[in-house]
Chains A and B, each alone.
Chain A
């Protein structure tokens, strides 16, 4: 399915450390989008990586995409307490449906 599956489900690190979250999916994609959700809030778009891209950076975020393995990773460097949130990957299928199917996400806790 188009659903993204995040791993691990939960991650706890100290401030200043790096956090890596992984995403796997099963179908061909047009792009893959990562989102952050703070507790009780809406989804904030972090980064979009297209199927012909292998790596993309945005500030302290680094996203990789391996379409041969149908996987993506999100790396947050030098994490801060404010990075504490749930992170979701959302594969966008090749059919341009505008529809995203989410997994349960990775819950990241950054301890000060």
Chain B
């Protein structure tokens, strides 16, 4: 049983460009959340997708958007990249059907904006 998988693992983008990160949740999970983790900080919640809709959103600008597909996989899109967007982007999955279920994280995608 594969856990949470993310791609790509590393990427470098130029300021102003757009990036798409991808996530496949753990088998049996229907809820995907995205987190941003800057160096030396704890992960910060970006948003959560359930039933293909954004259910919750953290304090991130509209440049950050996402999508969830019928197979529960998800994408995170960031437009007009800023140097400050350089971070580790983590995807997490769980099943909201089971209240208080374990939340699993992927290995993350390292984004460097130059």
Mark A residues whose CB is within 8 Å of B.
30-31, 33, 35, 40-45, 48, 50, 88, 90, 92, 96-105
Contacts and interface: CB of A to CB of B under 8 A. Distances in A.
Q: Is chain B's interface secondary structure helix, strand, loop, or mixed overall?
A: strand
Interface of B: 4, 6, 31, 33, 35, 40-45, 48, 50, 56, 88, 90, 92, 94, 96, 99-100, 102-108, 110
Contact of A102 (B42, B50, B94, B110): B42
B56 A104 contact: no
B56 A40 contact: no
Given A31-B100, A42-B108, A99 B45 contact: yes
Nearest to B31: A98
Given A30-B99, A92-B100, A96-B96, A40 B110 contact: yes
A41 B108 contact: yes
